[in-house]
Copies of this chain bind each other. A is one copy, B any other.
Amino acid sequence: MPSPLTLAIIGTGLVGSKLISQIASLSSWNSKFKVVYIASSSRSIFAPQGIDLSSWKERLLAGPVVVVDNTSSDDVASLYPHFLSRNFSVVTPNKKAYSSSLELYNQILAASAKTGAKIFNESTVGAGLPIISTLKDLVQTGDKVTKIEGVLSGTLSYLFNEYSPATSLSPPKSFSSVVRIAKEQGYTEPHPADDLSGFDVARKLTILSRLIPELTNALPKGYESVSITSLIPDALKSTVWSISGDEFIKKLRDFDGEFEELRTKAAEKGEVLRYVGVIDVREKTIKAALEPYPATHPFATSLSGSDNIIAFHTERYGPRPLIVQGAGAGADVTAMGVLADLFKI
């Protein structure tokens, strides 16, 4: 039986709390993981397992240590090179470190290579879905990825599954009303503009792109280098962050006609609208955009609710891509992705 993995858990929001409860409910957790430190934004405590300070210190020095960052903080992310160079491994659903500047990313890789400390981030894309591990396996085994295409935001999946369904018996809804309902049902961020900006999708595309050898250096500024179609109307861009989410949705009504025009134009060709991320390796283009898809396409027919779907086109898989689909957001499945990473260390 190997010695237990020592965990320092930073962040006790939705995902962090769920992760701790998942670890606590594992029947064999006691022998696998030892939580020694839990920190929220305002204070830190030692785990209720109550290890006394002296033996905890010995343990911390003796065994492998993993920092679990459940925050979405840029500040914590900027500390990863520091953690890794001290031989602390890092497991995180925090997208920031992987989707910001190439400089930070390279510092992380260098620190990990130097000490051998591991860093895993499966749940930064698609939560618990096997997306990053699958891409790593494809690349590591020498397959050539030619294109990745997917609906990578649970919120935007829900919005367009509702707004532009493949088949529908009910009368069409206005875009602003779909956003309003999504917010009421908890599908959006508190401020829906955070979802509509496309930044979240751009961050996920950055994380994936950097795992593809041909594109490692393609996004020097991270997600800011991605070609992004924002769903925030141009006329609202200057004021959107100074008004509340609800006020924003009210103002969005004035632009329902613009979205309606796109939907009608697509429908006339038998198409639906989906907000997708596309990485075209040969063309070296990386974009987050609202695109029309035939109503018979899997992105139109297979999706429901806030499902994610991702298609890996590769040389080995030929004309029919490898597809992964399922819930890509939610505290429970995100925490599961973190826990699966912990088992890998």
Contact pick for A343, options B141, B143, B317, CB 8 Å: B141
In the complex, whether A129 has a CB less than 8 A from a CB of chain B is yes
In the complex, whether A256 has a CB less than 8 A from a CB of chain B is no
A339 touches B133 (CB 8 A): no
A302 touches B298 (CB 8 A): yes
A318 touches B327 (CB 8 A): yes
A136 and B307 CA atoms in complex are apart in Å by: 22
Total copies of this chain within the assembly: 2
**Residues of B with C-beta under 8 A to A339:** 140-142
A137 touches B142 (CB 8 A): no
Interface residues of A in 324-344 (CB under 8 A from B): 324-327, 332-333, 336, 339-340, 343
In the complex, whether A250 has a CB less than 8 A from a CB of chain B is no
In the complex, whether A220 has a CB less than 8 A from a CB of chain B is no
A312 and B130 CA atoms in complex are apart in Å by: 12
B141 touches A130 (CB 8 A): no
**Residues of B with C-beta under 8 A to A86:** none
A296 and B304 CA atoms in complex are apart in Å by: 13
Interface centre among A298, A312, A324 (most CB of B within 10 A): A324
A317 and B336 CA atoms in complex are apart in Å by: 11
In the complex, whether A4 has a CB less than 8 A from a CB of chain B is no
**Residues of B with C-beta under 8 A to A317:** 326-327, 333
- Contact flag A316-B141 (CB < 8 Å), given A323-B323, A325-B323, A326-B321: no
6 A-B pairs closest in CB distance: A322-B326, A323-B325, A137-B340, A141-B339, A130-B130, A141-B336
Taking A129-B322, A133-B133, A304-B320 as known contacts, 13 extra A-B pairs with beta carbons closer than 8 A to each other, sorted by chain A number, are A25-B142, A128-B137, A128-B141, A130-B133, A137-B336, A138-B336, A140-B339, A296-B301, A298-B302, A305-B320, A322-B327, A323-B323, A324-B325
Q: List chain A positions with a Cβ less than 8 A from chain B.
A: 22, 25-26, 128-130, 133-134, 137-138, 140-143, 296, 298, 301-302, 304-305, 307, 312, 316-318, 320-327, 332-333, 336, 339-340, 343
